[in-house]
Each structure stands twice: as C-alpha cells, then as structure tokens.
Amino acid sequence: MDNIKPKITVVGCGYVGRPLLDAFRDKGFRAYGYDTDQSKHNKHIGTDITEVLTSEVVIFCLPTPVDRNNFPDLSLLESSIESIDSQCDLSDKVVIIESTYAPFTTKKLMKDAGIKQFGYSPERINPGDSKRTLRNTTKLVSGNIYYVGKYIKTLYEFICDDVYLCPSIEVAEASKLLENVQRDVNIALINEAQGVFKDAGIDTLEVLKAASTKWNFVDVKPGLVGGHCIGVDPYYYLKFASEKAPFQYTRIVKAAREASILFEQRIFDAIFDLAGPAPGAIHFEGYAFKGNCRDIRNSRTIELLDQVAEYHDDWKVTATDCFVGCGGCSGYTECDILVLTVNHNYIKMRLEDGTLLPEDKKMPRAIVDIHGIVSKEFAEKYNIILWQP
C-alpha cells in the first residue's frame, strides 16, 4: 500500500469497469482489465491471471441483478471473487467492489474470501450522460480500516475531482441503495399521477411543465423504469429491510414499484386499444432502457414489445434502435402504430428533419408517445391519433 501508483486490475469491463480502466491508464497507472467476454479483449483487456497476480489493487465492477422473482442475485460477483482468489490469493491485495447491493454485503464477501484489506466504492455511471462523468461526479469511497479508506480515497483522487470518504462501508452501501430508491419513488409518483390526470382529461406533460416553475419541484417525467439500477436496487433495499428491520414501514418503496409496473400496463392497454381487431403493423422506435444509450439490460420496452407481439400474433411487430445498432437504422419504417417509449435525441432530430415520418410516405394511424416527442400540431396535420401522458 506504499506505492503511490499501484498496479490495478479492474474485473469486469462493461459500462462501469471500462471507463474506470481507461481513466486509470490515462493517469499513467499500470492497469489491466480482466473480462471473460472475448468481444472486449484488446491489448489491455483479457483473461491473463498473471496480470491479476502482480496487481496490488483489484477492483470488481460486476453486475448484481435480480432474478425472475426479483430476488437479489450476487452469483456472478461471488463466483468471480472465488475464482480469482483461488488462482492468485487476494489476501495480500487491496480489494475494492463497485457493484450495488445491500449493506453488510462487502464485509461478508471479503470474510468468506479471507481478504484483509478492502473497501467499497459504489459506481455512479449514468449511461448516455455526457455531462455527468466519472471525472466530475462525486465519488464515494470507504474502507474496512481507516487507513485503507484513506488509501482508496487517494487512489480515486487521481481520476475524480471530488472524492468523499464515508465513515463506514455500510454507509457507502446504504447511500447507493437510497440514491436509486429515491429516484424510483419520484418517478413512480409521476407515473401514478399520469393515470389520474389522464382519466380526468388533463395533459400530464403540461401539468409537469407548470409545476416545474416552482423552485423546489423535482422535475421528473413519466416513463418506463428499467436498467441495471433504478429498476433493480429497490428490491435489494426491500430484501435488506425484511431481514434487518422486519417491523419497519416499507410500503412506500413497494407501492412505487407497483405504480411503475401499472404504468407499463397502461402503455400496453393503449397499444391494445389502438390496435383494434384488424391486423396491421406496430413499430417500436427505440428499445434501450433509457434515452441516448445503448444499454438494453432490463429494458422495459423490450418486455413491452414481447408482450405486444404475444397478444397481437396476427400483427407484424418490429423494432429499431440506432443507439443499440440492431434492427436497422433507415429512419423510416412503415407501420399502423408507432410506439415511442425511449427519448433518444436522434428520434427528435429525425422527426424534425422529416426522415422518421416522411410526408411522401404512409403515416401511422396512431402514435403512442410517452415523452411528448411528437407535437399535437403534427398529429392533427396528418390526422394521427396521438396518445401521450
């Protein structure tokens, strides 16, 4: 731990690990990425265990999803720690985990592996966000011993402008959960309000525009809640609460999950009602889990697409996403119903320049647009039925 620029191995080179690896290398660190996915392999990423063996710091950046029953699934992280430890003994290294899970998990994982110097630094990567980067986003760090925490803080200060040393690992673990649970609850409130306002004949997007003029209003839009954080972490929180505080009130978080699931159902119902009995074509433009990124993990649009295809087996159901790079990217797909559930910038640009819905082509009979991308004037001009929140 005396080396000011230790050799580092980053285990898992996806959305979290790859930027971390690149950042350390850019600062002159000897950094190696360990990943079993051969499509990611290059000069600095592979499965050379000797690179891990000669590293002083090992950082695990692996996904911690939930299973089909929404129970926390740590199997990939657990098996990776066990596998690497069996090959190169992690007990003499500083081990840091960036994955998300419930408090007390880090200490249990490290105790099981016999690791003595370790810390936790939850990732705060926001896919598709070019403004909030690894460099300018405050980095939380923690260590099992004070001097380990200080060492980890010094390490991350090379690549992050602001590093906050938490007083304990549990505080860092809990803060990560709370950040995403809060976001989930905020979105769920707006998703629930959308149903109320819609039934009352009030434009939800206009309500939000008006409400956001107040300085302390949290400007959140209705939407499908997917991805690897906001749609997952509440289940880690609920499992943790049921084990550590079984008599405490957790109905708000449960209700939030239910509200966003019901919002998905309302989108499906809108498509179902617009489709009618006659067969035709339904096209989804965009199916990443959020706008301006190519991450499809836990994409609720893909889930919705599958449901629509199942219930409308006599309809042609297609999807394209220029960010994901699948399904083509021609800019125009003829359809009877166009579904816009992802607010990619390219969709707005192609709508404005006329390549998404060219005037000389057949216009869709209806558009389901949950982000307000399509103007009411456009829909009226071409006699399109427009469903918006």
Catalytic center residues: 229
Nearest to 44 by CA among 30, 52, 33, 53: 33
The DSSP bridge partners found for residue 366 are 337, 385
CA dihedral 93, 96, 99, 102 (to 10 degrees): 100
- CA gap 296, 24 in Å, rounded: 27
- CA gap 118, 122 in Å, rounded: 13
Radius of gyration (C-alpha) of the chain in whole angstroms: 23
- Describe the crossing of helices 251-275 and 233-244 by its angle, rounded to 10 degrees: 150
In single-letter form, the type of residue at position 96 comes to I
Residue 313, number of CB atoms within 10 A of its CB:
9
Is-contact 355 331, C-beta < 8 A?
yes
* CB-based contacts of 133-137 (< 8 A; 24+ apart in sequence): 133/19, 134/19, 134/20, 134/23, 134/159, 134/160, 135/23, 135/159, 135/160, 135/161, 136/161, 136/162
| Burial tier of 260 (Cβ tally within 10 Å: 0-12, 13-18, 19+) | buried
Is-contact 94 144, C-beta < 8 A?
no
Is-contact 305 317, C-beta < 8 A?
yes
Classify residue 28 as left (phi > 0), alpha (psi -120 to 50) or beta: left
Phi, psi of 131, deg, nearest 5: -90, -40
